[in-house]
A and B are shown apart, each in its own frame.
Chain A
Amino acid sequence: MINMLVSILLVLLLQLLFYSWWWIIIVPLILGFFEKDSVLKASLANGTGVFLLWFGMGLYAWKQGGEIIVSRVVEIMGAGSGFLLAIATGFIGFFVASIAGYAGFSLRRTLFKEYQV
C-alpha cells in the first residue's frame, strides 16, 4: 500500500510540474529498483498506483468541463464511452508502470550479488 501511495504521489507531483507522460516510466523504474523484497510490490504496486492516478485524473477532467472533448475522442477512438476511455487510459498507465517497476526490480537483482542465487 505504501509503495502504491508513494508511486501515486510522486507521479502526481512530477506530472503536475512537468507534464510529461514518461514520468510513469521513470518513477516506477526507480521505485522498483529500490524495492528489495517482492517483485509483485515492485510491479503491481506501481502499476496499480499509476492506474488509479490516470484513471482518476481522467474521470476528474471528464467531469470538470471535459464532457464535449471526451465524447469526441470516444468517437475518434471507438472507445464506447467516457468511462471506458478513462479505464483504457488507466490501463495503459498500469501496463507501462508495471513493466517499468519490474524492470527496475530486475535491474537491481542483476547488479547486486546479494540478490543472486
Chain B
Amino acid sequence: MRLFKTILAFIVLITLFMLLNNNQGSIPPLGKFLNPFAGFWQNGSGDDQMAEVLDVKGLREEVTIVWDERQIPHVFAQNDYDAYFTQGFLTARHRLWQMEFQTHVAAGRVSEIIGPRAIDFDKLQRRRGLLSSAESYLNLINQDPETQLIVQAYANGVNTWIATLTPASLPLEYKLLNYKPEAWSTLKTALLQKYMAWDLTGRNSEMDLSVIRHALGEDFVERYYPEDTPRTDPIIPAAKPWRFEPLMPDVAQDFFTPQFIRNMNEPQPNENNGSNNWAVSGRKTRSGSPILANDPHLGLNLPSIWYEIQLNTPDMNVYGTSLPGAPAVIIGFNEDIAWGLTNAGTDVLDWFEIEFKDSSFQEYLYLDEWIPADMRIEEILVRDGDTVQDTFPITRFGPVVHFGEHILENGNPVGLAMRWSAHDPSNEMQAIRNMNLAHDLETFYQALDQYRVPGQNFAMATKTGDIAIRHNGHFPLRAKNEGKFVQSGRDTTGEWTQWIPPEHLPVISNPWRGYVSSANQNPVGKNYPYYMGWEYDDYERGARINEVLGSLKNIDLIDMQNLHTDHMNVQARRILPFLLKQVKTEKLTNEELEVLADLKQWNYLSVPNSRAALVYREWWVRIEEAIWNDELTINGTLRKIPTRSVTENLLLRKKNLEYYDNVLTKELVEDRQMIIRQAFEQMVYDLHVGLGDYGEAWELGRARGTDINHLLSVKGLGRTSLYTGGGKGIVNATNKKFGPSWRMMVEIGDSIRALGVYPGGQSGNPGSKFYDNAVDKWVKGEYYDLHFLGSPVSIQDKKFTMTRLRNYQ
C-alpha cells in the first residue's frame, strides 16, 4: 500500500511537471510562465531606462546614445560599424521577439514555433521563394564590402544583445510560446527585406481575370477592368512629355485559357490599404522651405512595424524609421534631403501555367521539348511533430507554387509558376545606405537606381528647395495587358527578357504647380510609352490631395497635419446626391427615414462620430454586391469585382445595364433604381440587427473603429476599439485593421522641423509604458516633435538621458 501511494505521488508529480513545463494548446507552460523569478512577472517596465554606462563587447570605439522622452535612441558613433552595431543592439533590446518571429514567417519556419498547424503556411511561403531570394540577395551583399559591413555589424549588435539575456529577461512572447531566440544572422536581415517586398508586391488578380475572361468574355474584362482607372489624376501629370526613345516589348500572348485555376484563388493584399506622400515647393509654403509629408499605410500590429532612430557618424546624420531586423533608415531625412514612400502597385509578379510530363513534376514542356526542372527540397522542422519534406520544381518562369494532378486532356499534370521581380538578386541595402547619405536629388536618384524591390513612389524635398517624385523599381518591359492574365509557360512570349531602364522611369522634379504627390494611383497618363500594369488604387485619395495642395497657399505644418487626417469622402461627394435621388421615401420605415435624413445633411466627412459615414460605406458595399456578386461568383468562388470608380461611372451613366439584374432572382428583373433602394433597405436592416436602434452605436468610430492587434493576436496585448474615422478612398485611409503606420512631415531648409507619430511605441515589451504610448496621439491625429540632434553635447533639456556604450574587449 505504501509503495502504491509513493508510486502514485510520483506519477502525479511527474504529470504535474509535464503539464506545467509545456504548452497545453494555446495555454503557456504555467509553471514557467507564472514563475515569479523568471516568468511573465519579470517583464515589467524596470528595464525601460538603460544604464548610463554599459560595457559592450564588439564595439570599435565608444558610442553615445541620447534617449529622448519617447525612448527614441539618437546614436552618436565614430564610425559606420559602431553605428550599425548599436542599431542592431538597441533594436534587439526593444524588439527581439518581433524581428525574429517575422524572419520565421518569411522563411516558412513557423511550424518550428507553433507546431503542425503552420505546415501548409510554411510550404507555401517556401515555394514562393522568399528564402532562396534572400540567399541570393545575401550573396550580392557579401560581394560588396560596404554593405557587408553594415549587415554584419547589425547582426553582431543583435547577437551581443542576445548574449545578455537571462531566462528572466527573455521577451514575453518567448515565454508565452515556450521557446528561445537563436543567433541572428545576416540572412535574417535579407529575409526581412524580402518579406517587406512580398508584403508590398501589390495586387495580382490574373487568376481571377483569367476565370472571368473565360466565363464572361474578353469584352467584359476590357470594359470593366481597364488599364486606366477612371478619373485618375496620375502621379506624374499626364501632360508631361517623355523625351526618350522607348524600348519595344515583344508581342503579348494570344488569348490563353489556363486549365488549372477554376477553383483557385491567390490571397491578395487588402484593398483598404492606402499610402500617401507629397512634397510642396517653398514657393507655396509660409517659411519658404519645402515640406515633405508621408503616411505609409500597412496592416497595423503591436509591436509596431517601425523602429524610430537617429544615426550620427562623422559622415552621416540621418533620422527616421527603420525595419526592426534591418539596418539603416528607410523613411526619413538627413540634413539635406527628406524622403517618403508609397507603394508603386506596378505589376512585378506573373503567373505561368506549366505543363509537366508526369506527376513527378521533374520535366516540363517548353518550346515543344521536355525540360528538366531544378527540384528544390525543403525540410520543415515541426515542433512536437515529424520533420516534413516538401519538394517542388523551379522552372525558368520561377518556382511552382501550386500543383494540380492530371488536369489536362492528355493526362499531364500542371502547376502554376510564380515569376516575381524580387527573385532576381539586387542590393537594396546598398541603395538604402546611399539614400541615407544622399545630399541632393541627383545623389538620391543614383541611390534609387540600385533600389529594385519593392516598387515604390519616392517623394523627395531638399534643403536647397527641390522637390521631386519618382515611380521607382525594377519593372519588366511588357506588351499591353501582359501579366493581366495567367500566361502559358510553354513558350517564350510571356518571359521577362528586358526591363524598363531606370532613366525611363516616371519621374518629375520641381513641377510648375509647386507640389508632387502620390497615393498608389496609376503613375502615368496615356502618353507614357510603357505598359506597367493596371491594378493601381482608385482615383479618390490622389484627387483629394491634389485638390487640397492645389488650393493652399502659405502652407505650414498645420496644413499638412490637416491633410494627413483629411476625412473628405470624395466618392460620396460625387455619387451620394445621385443615390439619394433613387430612394423614394414612400414605404420607408421611420428608422430608414431617419438614416436618409442624416445622409442628406452629411458633409461627406468620414469623421469618427459620423453615422452617415458608416451608413454610406455599408450602403455602397451592398450596391456593389447587388451588381456584381451574381455574375462574378464563378464555380462557387467570388472573383474580383471592378473598381469603385468603374461601378460609380456605370451607375451615373447607365440607366440600363444587364448586370443590374440579379440573375438568381428569376421572377424579377432588377433595375438601377431598384438595386439602389434594395441595398439601402438591406443596409439599414443589417446595421439594425448588428448595432441596435439608430444611435451612437452607428458612429463610424464605434461600429468600425480600429483594432491594433498583437502579432500573435493575443487578447490583452493589443489596442482595440480605437475611435477612428477615415476609410477606403479617403486620405486618412484608416480602417479596421489597416492605417497609417507612420505619419511624418519634414520642413527642410537651413533649419529642420520634423513631426511624426506611429501607432504604437518604441518598445516591443507589452509590460513597458513605451509599448503603446503613442497610440492615443495617433488616434487624435496629433504628432511628436522629432528631435534631430546635431551632437550629443547639445543636450540641456531634461527630457533627454544618455547612455555611453564603452568598448569592452
Contacts and interface: CB of A to CB of B under 8 A. Distances in A.
B717 A92 contact: no
Contact of B6 (A64, A72, A88, A110): A110
A62 to B, nearest CB: 7
6 contacts: A16-B37, A61-B36, A65-B45, A65-B46, A106-B5, A110-B6
B41 A25 contact: no
A102 B41 contact: no
A84 interface: no
B172 A69 contact: yes
A63 B3 CA distance: 45
Nearest to A88: B34
B2 A110 contact: yes
A107 B166 CA distance: 35
Contacts of A19: 35, 37-38, 166-168
Given A89-B36, A106-B9, 5 more contacts: A20-B35, A65-B46, A68-B45, A96-B13, A107-B10
Given A54-B36, A57-B37, A99 B167 contact: no
Contacts of A45: none
Q: Is the interface of A mostly helix, strand, loop or mixed?
A: helix
A70 B593 CA distance: 49
Contacts of A34: none
A117 B714 CA distance: 55
Given A20-B167, A72-B716, A61 B41 contact: yes
A103 B44 contact: no
A13 to B, nearest CB: 11
Interface string B765-781: 11111010000000000
A21 B38 contact: yes
Interface string A92-117: 10011001101100110110000010
Question: Among A58, A76, A99, which residue has the most Cβ atoms of chain B within 10 A?
Answer: A76
B370 interface: no
Contacts of A96: 13, 16, 20, 31
Contacts of B46: 64-66
Interface string B547-563: 00000000000000000
Contact of B41 (A58, A74, A109): A58
B571 interface: no
A80 B2 CA distance: 41
A92 B34 CA distance: 9
B761 to A, nearest CB: 11
Interface of A: 15-16, 19-22, 25, 29, 54, 57-58, 60-62, 64-70, 72-76, 88-89, 92, 95-96, 99-100, 102-103, 106-107, 109-110, 116
Interface string B1-23: 01101100110110011001100
Question: Among A57, A64, A106, A116, which residue has the most Cβ atoms of chain B within 10 A?
Answer: A106
Interface string B753-766: 00000000000011
A21 B17 CA distance: 10
Contacts of B767: 65-66, 68-69, 72
A102 B39 CA distance: 26
B166 A72 contact: no
A106 B6 contact: yes
A69 B44 contact: yes
Contacts of B9: 99, 102-103, 106-107
B260 to A, nearest CB: 44
Contacts of B10: 103, 107
A11 B36 CA distance: 12
Contact of A66 (B20, B34, B41): B41
B715 interface: yes
B43 interface: yes
Interface residues of B, number: 42
Nearest to B9: A103
Contact of A68 (B3, B12, B166, B769): B769
Given A19-B168, A61-B41, A73 B36 contact: no
A58 B716 CA distance: 19
B44 A65 contact: yes
B32 interface: yes
Question: Among A21, A68, A75, which residue has the most Cβ atoms of chain B within 10 A?
Answer: A21
A110 B4 CA distance: 9
Nearest to A115: B2
B30 interface: yes
A64 B13 contact: no
A62 B38 contact: no
B660 interface: no
B44 A25 contact: no
A32 B647 CA distance: 78
Given A22-B31, A64-B44, A66-B44, A106 B2 contact: yes
A35 B171 CA distance: 39
B13 A72 contact: no
Given A57-B36, A67-B44, A68-B768, A116 B2 contact: yes
Nearest to B45: A65
By Cβ-Cβ distance, the 8 closest A-B pairs, closest first, are A69-B767, A75-B716, A57-B36, A66-B44, A21-B35, A65-B44, A61-B41, A103-B9
A98 B546 CA distance: 72
Nearest to A29: B13
Question: Among A57, A70, A73, A106, which residue has the most Cβ atoms of chain B within 10 A?
Answer: A73
Question: Among B17, B35, B168, which residue has the most Cβ atoms of chain A within 10 A?
Answer: B35
Interface string B37-57: 111111111100000000000
B716 A76 contact: yes
A100 to B, nearest CB: 6
Contact of A61 (B2, B44, B172, B765): B44
A116 B12 CA distance: 23
A20 B38 CA distance: 7
Given A66-B767, A68-B768, A72-B767, A103 B39 contact: no
A19 to B, nearest CB: 4
A29 B771 CA distance: 41
B107 to A, nearest CB: 28
A76 B41 contact: no
Contact of B714 (A61, A76, A89, A102): A76
A69 B40 contact: yes
A58 B37 contact: no
B37 A15 contact: yes
A100 B716 CA distance: 34
Contacts of B5: 106
A68 B34 contact: no
B769 A99 contact: no
Contact of B3 (A62, A75, A110): A110
B167 A69 contact: no
B41 A57 contact: yes
A69 B413 CA distance: 54
Question: Among B5, B6, B37, which residue has the most Cβ atoms of chain A within 10 A?
Answer: B37
Question: Among A15, A95, A116, which residue has the most Cβ atoms of chain B within 10 A?
Answer: A15
A88 B20 CA distance: 13
A73 B716 contact: yes
A41 B96 CA distance: 45
